[in-house]
Every structure is written in structure tokens, then in C-alpha cells.
Amino acid sequence: MKPLHTLGLLFLVSAPLLSRLPASPPPWFLAVDAAPTDDTLRTALRAVAKAQDLWAKDALWPETSKYPVPVALRVDDQTAYLIGHPKPPPGMKKASEAKGALKWTGHSLPPAATSVEVNGTPTAVVPLDMVAGHSEAEAVGLVAHEMFHALQAIRGFGAAENIMLLPEYPELDPRNNALGRVEGELLADALHLDGGVDSGVSADQPGSREWDGAINFLAVRKLRRQSLSSSLQEYERLVEAHEGVPQLIQMLAPPLIDLGTNPARTDLPFALRTLCEGGRGTNRRRFYTSGAALSLLLSRINPEWKRQHMKGRALEDLLAEAIKFDPATASAKAESLVKNPHFEQLLAEETAAAEAERKRRQARLEALKREAPRLLVLDLGGQAVQRYFDPMNVTQAGDGVTIHERFLQLQGDGWSLRVTGVPVIEETKAQRYTIPITELGAMTMGGVTIERPQPSQPLTHITDLKFTAPGIELIMKSALLDSTGDGKTTRLQIPLR
């Protein structure tokens, strides 16, 4: 089992038929609160058929027809439907309720839009609960987005960023965010997308709105990045390149099959003009938007950019090369763009927003600990841990504390933890994880059900422990258990000390 990097989800798959590939859920798909239905499955199946048809016609990207991508529709932790796979895993059967699909029971697919290898073949994964409540046009975009991530893995372009840098990103830095907002405004101006529709005309000459806008954008970006480490600068470049292009594919797919304009595209002008506003999405989501915008801008200035990008070139590097950007003149250009009352207003807004957000996050952190009937604390004691999480759904609560909002999986020597839909508080330097327990669940040792630890139970050596509760599964061969503290906290120390 070889852990690899994903962008929408860092995930360890236990089944030997699966290994992880880069991918991610489009952020705007997470907003709808709706459960999958039979209509959802039918919508998803139509979306897969239409996306794969576009793929076979090279309508979205050069030469996709040479690299067919199967799709897995994930229903729940047990059931999925596999479409278009050349070598499906053994034991799968034709699904009468899903024409053209194979029903897969007992899969180990991750619970997010992503791409994985299924039996050696890169496969797009689309959870049905992400399709629920959305139109067919939106579903086609989502499927195409994840198919493109599989293509990135097949062809070896779109290198993945170091997601472990996420906690280090200064997402509540007012100046970084204010300059990020200027970047978004400049991209919107360069594309003249105020009406939500671009002209589609190549503007590859100096003096054009696109060309001059690109110069302004790159100049301000260079100024903003002066406060970032080289590793964080590279993190930004890689997220933008690897996620921005699939986001563009997601926008382009629906109109090509007469399904109307994808909301992700009609919302692009607004998304650009509110980029980083209030510190929202500054460490990741923003680069979906800016990457899609850069892809559109490159399509106008340099029609050959797609083939160059497939060689691993970053979007901003391709843009700088196309317009012959001169870094030596960038500083003066950037200063002229930000020395004005508008930027001062943006900076003041972001300063106030950052302070309010810090207080909100601290209050939530305290509430999670205070309001839970029980707390389960894992103290990992400096041991090596494989850590997998959903980077689209983490909250930096300050002082090296992260709240995993949606998914976290930890795995070490002789133990594992998997949490879905329950917040987990991570103290990175201390390697400590706190889980608020709202339902007590079941605990066994050696296969025998035991009562939950009593508040006064001292440090005890335990073996063959399994704890399950809604959204939580913890398995340990050996640990030290202590519940002598505040009367509600059970602490497990790993390794033995």
C-alpha cells in the first residue's frame, strides 16, 4: 500500500485495488445540503455519459480520446457504481438500476470527489451526495473536473503541492489578503468578464486589455509574495496549476452539450472580485478561481499554452513568458497599483476581518471542548504517523491548532483512527488529537464489550482496543489509557512511555 498525494483529500486506501492520485472536490459543490435519491443516481449517470462523450471527442482538452477515464459513482461506504472501466475488480455485477454500470459492493473508495487507481486504472470518483441538489449541467462539470485529475496522473503533468504546508499558510494576514483581492480584481479586468461572458478573442498584442492586465496582475503578485517563504510560493503555484485547469474544464463542459452555462463560470467575475475577501479560502480555494481565470487569459494570449502546460509548466510562468514580463520593472508597477485609497480601504477591511475571524475560531475551539459530553484525546508521543485529511475543510485555530471539519485518518504502528463528519482538534507540534464525543458508542477489548472508562480510572495498559461511535473508528493493539483528569476526558498515549 503506497500513500500518494491528493489535493481534495489526503486519503489512505486499505484495499489493494486502490491507490491514491491527485484530485479535489470543486469547492462550490459543498454548499448544498441534500441527500442522494434515485433521481440523483439518474442525473449522475447521464452526467457521466455526457462527460465521457466530450472526452472521446477531444472537446475539452487535446488528445483526451487517447486516454479514456472510467468513473466511479460512490453511493456510501459500501456501494458504488463503476462506469467504463477496462478491468473492473473481481466480483462486480451489472446493475439493473444503473444501465451501463457495474455495481460494486464493499469498495474502499474515498468519501470525496477525487481520482484513484482502481485495479491499476486511474478512475474519477464522484460521491452521489455531491451531486444531490445540483443540476445536470453542474454534475457534468464535476465529473469532467475529476476525469481531468485522472488525466493529470496518467500523463504526469500538474504536479501536486506539499499539502502539509497548509497549516503554515498565513490565511489571516491582512496585507496578503488585501493584495490577493487586488490580484482578483486585476484578473477580472484583464478578462473583462463583468457581464459573465468572455469575448473568446485572442489578445496577444501589447496594449490589449488582456496583455496589460496580465502585466499588472503579475506585478502585484510578485509584490505580495515578498512576505511568503519560497516553499509557500511554490505551494501557491502548484495548487493554482493543478486545480485551476480542472476548474476551467468544469466551466467549459456544460455549454458544449447544450446544458447552459455552468454556475461556476457565470459566478467567475464575482468570485474574482471577492477573491480573499474576509480571509475566505485564502490558503486553497482561491487558487481554483485564479487558476481558472489564468487559464482563460492564457487561451487568449497564447493558444499553445495547453500543450506547454502538459509538460509541467506552471500557469503564471506560461503567462509571464507569453507577455515577456520584466521582473525588474514589477516593483514600480505594483507600487503604483496599490498606493491609493482603494487599497488602503481593502487593507482596513481585511485587518478588521482577520481580527474578528481569529476571535470566532477561538470561540469555536473552546465551545467544541466545553460542550461535548466526553473528549477522547490521542497523545502520539512523537512517533511517525501517516496523516490523511480533507484540505478543503480544515480551520486553522491559531498557535499550531487545526480543526479538521470533515475527515481525518491517522495510521501508525499497530493502530488507526478514522473520523468522518466529526470535528477533530489537532495540536501539530504536540502530536495531540482531541475528538469531541457526543454519542458514547461502543468499546471492546479483545473482542469483549467493556464499559466506558470511569472518570477516576488511573493510567492503565490496554490491548486490542476498538472504539466505534457515529463517524469514528479507533483500533489499537496497545496503548496507555488515562481518565483521571477533568472527569470527561479519556486520554490514550501512544506509544507506551
Alpha carbons 187 and 435: distance in angstroms, whole number? 42
For the chain, percent of residues with pLDDT exceeding 90: 52
Residue 14: pLDDT above 60?
A: no
What is the Cβ-side half-sphere exposure of residue 95, based on CA atoms within 13 angstroms? Answer: 19
pLDDT in tens, 282-301: 999 999 999 999 999 999 99
| More reliable by pLDDT, 385 or 81 | 81
Nearest to 288 by CA among 126, 116, 145, 139: 145
For the chain, percent of residues with pLDDT exceeding 70: 86
Residue 16: pLDDT above 50?
A: no
Residue 263: pLDDT above 90?
A: no
Per-range mean pLDDT, top range of 12-26, 216-230, 268-282:
216-230
Amino acid (one-letter) located at 165:
L
Alpha carbons 430 and 227: distance in angstroms, whole number? 27
Residue 269: the pLDDT is 84
Residue 459: the pLDDT is 67
Residue spans of the domains in the chain: they are 18-155, 166-348, 372-493
Which range is least confidently modeled, 34-48, 95-109, 259-273, 341-355?
259-273
Residue 466: pLDDT above 70?
A: yes
206: pLDDT confidence band, cut at 50, 70 and 90?
A: confident
Residue 359: the pLDDT is 95
| CA dihedral for 32, 239, 287, 123, sign (positive or negative) | negative
Residue 135: the pLDDT is 87
455: pLDDT confidence band, cut at 50, 70 and 90?
A: low
What cell was used for 50? 455526457
Residue 29: the pLDDT is 36
Amino acid (one-letter) located at 180:
G
Length of the chain: 497
Residue 444: the pLDDT is 82
Alpha carbons 211 and 402: distance in angstroms, whole number? 40
Residue with grid cell 490491548, as numbered in its chain? 463
Alpha carbons 430 and 222: distance in angstroms, whole number? 35
User: Which residues are CB-neighbours of 323 under 8 A, at least 6 positions away?
Assistant: 206, 211, 214, 215, 218, 301
Q: What is the mean pLDDT of residues 466-476?
A: 91
Q: What is the 3-state secondary structure (H, E, C) of 231-266?
A: HHHHHHHHHHHHHHHHHHHHHHHHHHCCCCCCHHHH
Global pTM value: 0.85
